[in-house]
Structure 1
Amino acid sequence: MIDLVIEQRRRDLGGFEVGRVLPYKGGRMVGPFIFFDHMGPAEFTAGFPRSVDVRPHPHIGLSTLSYLFDGEITHRDSTGVTQPIRPGEVNWMTAGRGITHSERFEALRAHGGRMNGIQAWVALPVEAEETDPAFFHHAAESLPTYEADGLRARLIAGEGFGARSPVKTYSPLVYAHWSLAAGARAQIPAEYSQRAAYVAQGSVEVDGRAFGYGQMLILTAGQPVVVTATEPAIVMVLGGEPVGERFIEWNFVASTKARIEQAKADWRAGRMKLPDADDQEFIPLPEPPPPAPPMS
């Protein structure tokens, strides 16, 4: 039932840590999901420096999907959108041929508090890679929910569990948030060829094995899987159909290396528009380290 277990790798982003799960060795994806970061959990004290914010930066060839358990982030992008996101809501940003955006922690800076959430990147199919950039916000109450027998579930994006999310997607996928009481059981059906379950809190049992916080379970194709919470748990269920090989470098995703090189050149030359409401700074393109000197 489980092909692989991926452990999150903690990374300091200059003020708070994230747990990176995808991409994994060999460029492993889960359906179209190519990137998966657990932001936090982190506790902030009011007045922390602006250097913790994510300054304007570019994307191509993907949609970003931001979802919070705790906290608040203010999104600004080059389509003119400014949109806070709060727990249970969805910010879905389609980069397509190119978009820039920032993520600011203004509410947390003013009041302090906890930050905890997931940012996922969904690779666009080839025919949509150069689509126009767009942004969509969905309130928590607009998303399908289900509650019974110790399970509270919200369908964040895609289609699954007999429901369809209003979030616009470009290829077949499912993404759901489960909150399980201790002893609660829920089944992940076998309707997609690639599926995974990420334990965002607590611990669970699958196929007689115990798993806990920060682990992503890559599930065997073609078999339904039952997840049992051994203590109160949060599980993110994700899956979908593959979109083909993708290259990823910095914030760029594309089906060809040439397209990534063009995006790098465009950003380096200042040809990608910054957000109107946040155009005073940006993250420069990381340059490759210089070659090591020859050994004497």
Structure 2
Amino acid sequence: MTASLLINRRSHDLGGGFFVGRVLPHRKRRMVGPFIFFDHLGPMDVARGAPRALDVRPHPHIGLSTVTYLYSGAFTHRDSLGSNQEIRPGEVNWMTAGSGITHSERLEYARAHGANLHGIQAWAALPREHEETAPAFHHHQGADELPEFQEGGVTGRLIAGAIDGASARVRTHSSLFYLHWEMTDGARRTLGTTYPERAVYVARGAIDLDGHPLAEGQMQVLESGRTAQIQARGPATVMLLGGEPIGERFIYWNFVSSSKDRLEQACEDWRAQRMVLPVDDDQEFIPLPQGAG
């Protein structure tokens, strides 16, 4: 049985004054289904002409898929496959690192126009049989790719995976679900027991979860096999995620693997600059942290 656990986000500096609220991994809970990383970005006002230090410079990944999802603002994604894609609210950037990829995320729109940046970046660890798959990047938008619903004061969007008879067109490598709900004051909805590992995160506002308050910046990992009754306490933005467990994973910096040796190899590859930098963004990169490898 999956035990219930309350996790509070912790402030983490990505560098250059870009602070996020880190939720996963947590010392008492490293993963929920395949989700091994969950950062709450903002909300943060970025003024026109903001310094480039706020950008997420080129860096590498292996063994995972990243999913970027915004409520407001915009990022410009570039990677070593040649992808160049601006992501806007309600859209999905899904990047599978597999055997290795590098990418950057720049605040080009905000720097030109000013913007309020608010969103979530999550990582889904890849199953062992797909850890070394070829890297790939896909951008998704619109209800034909990301199913939507509106019922009883809840507007929802399925970001990835499948649940309640709906399936997103995002290609995943394991059984999972990832949902965004916008809830009006007093709106109620139930999360079922389709998946053995599930969690609920409040990105804005507050909710009652099975009659207990859950505040902004808190994630509740749910007990397996029990439905969850969710009611908004005022307008609320809620993220729901989970899936089938995929086994133990090791994580170091931006690398995820079932093998510590593979992590060490990735560190050495980055240190030796054997990983190709993003196309049209190869003039700088984030160095390997000291003491790695």
What's the TM-score once normalised by structure 2's chain length? 0.97
State the alpha-carbon separation in 1 of the partners of residues 214 and 18 from structure 2. Answer: 25
State the alpha-carbon separation in 2 of the partners of residues 211 and 56 from structure 1. Answer: 36
State the alpha-carbon separation in 1 of the partners of residues 268 and 42 from structure 2. Answer: 32
1:213-292 matched pairs, under 5 angstroms: 213-288=216-291
State the alpha-carbon separation in 1 of the partners of residues 28 and 241 from structure 2. Answer: 19
Question: Match of 1:172?
Answer: 175
Matched, 1:74 2:76: yes
Q: Name which of 40, 61, 64 aligns with 1:62.
A: 64
Q: Shift in Å at residue 45 of structure 1?
A: 1.0
**Matched AA of 1:55:** R
**Matched AA of 2:54:** V
Q: Shift in Å at residue 162 of structure 1?
A: 1.5
1:78-157 matched pairs, under 5 angstroms: 78-141=80-143, 142-157=145-160
**Matched AA of 2:270:** W
Q: Shift in Å at residue 27 of structure 1?
A: 5.2
- 3-state DSSP of counterpart to 1:190: coil
Question: Match of 1:194?
Answer: 197
- 3-state DSSP of counterpart to 2:282: coil
**Matched AA of 2:13:** D
**Matched AA of 1:280:** Q
Identity percentage of aligned residues: 58
Q: Shift in Å at residue 10 of structure 1?
A: 1.1
State the alpha-carbon separation in 2 of the partners of residues 209 and 222 from structure 1. Answer: 18
State the alpha-carbon separation in 2 of the partners of residues 232 and 27 from structure 1. Answer: 28
Which of the two has higher C-alpha Rg? 1
How far does the alpha carbon of each residue in 1:119-139 deviate from its partner, in whole angstroms, 9 at most, with x for none? Answer: 000000000000000000001
Q: List runs of 5+ in structure 1 lacking aligned partners.
A: 290-296
How far does the alpha carbon of each residue in 1:93-150 deviate from its partner, in whole angstroms, 9 at most, with x for none? Answer: 0000000000000000011110000000000000000000000000133310000110
Matched, 1:162 2:173: no
State the alpha-carbon separation in 1 of the partners of residues 223 and 208 from structure 2. Answer: 16
- 3-state DSSP of counterpart to 1:260: helix
- 3-state DSSP of counterpart to 2:4: strand
Over the aligned positions, Cα root-mean-square deviation in angstroms equals 1.2
How far does the alpha carbon of each residue in 1:200-244 deviate from its partner, in whole angstroms, 9 at most, with x for none? Answer: 000100122111100000001001111000110010000100110
CA contact (8 A) 1:2 1:217 kept: no
CA contact (8 A) 1:90 1:140 kept: no
Distance change >3 Å, CA 71–CA 91, structure 1 → 2: same
Which aligned runs of 4 or more in structure 1 are off by greater than 3 angstroms?
none
Q: Name which of 215, 220, 233 aligns with 1:212.
A: 215
Matched, 1:40 2:56: no
Q: Shift in Å at residue 158 of structure 1?
A: 0.2
Question: Match of 2:5?
Answer: 4
Q: Shift in Å at residue 254 of structure 1?
A: 0.2
Q: Name which of 7, 15, 23 aligns with 1:21.
A: 23
How far does the alpha carbon of each residue in 1:60-96 deviate from its partner, in whole angstroms, 9 at most, with x for none? Answer: 0000000000000000000110000000000000000
**Matched AA of 1:51:** A
CA contact (8 A) 2:63 2:256 kept: yes
**Matched AA of 1:9:** R
State the alpha-carbon separation in 2 of the partners of residues 26 and 199 from structure 1. Answer: 19
What's the TM-score once normalised by structure 1's chain length? 0.96
CA contact (8 A) 2:3 2:224 kept: no
Tell me the number of residue pairs that the alignment of Structure 1 and Structure 2 aligns. Answer: 289
**Matched AA of 2:196:** S
- 3-state DSSP of counterpart to 1:140: coil
Q: Shift in Å at residue 2 of structure 1?
A: 7.3
**Matched AA of 1:232:** P
Q: Shift in Å at residue 12 of structure 1?
A: 2.5
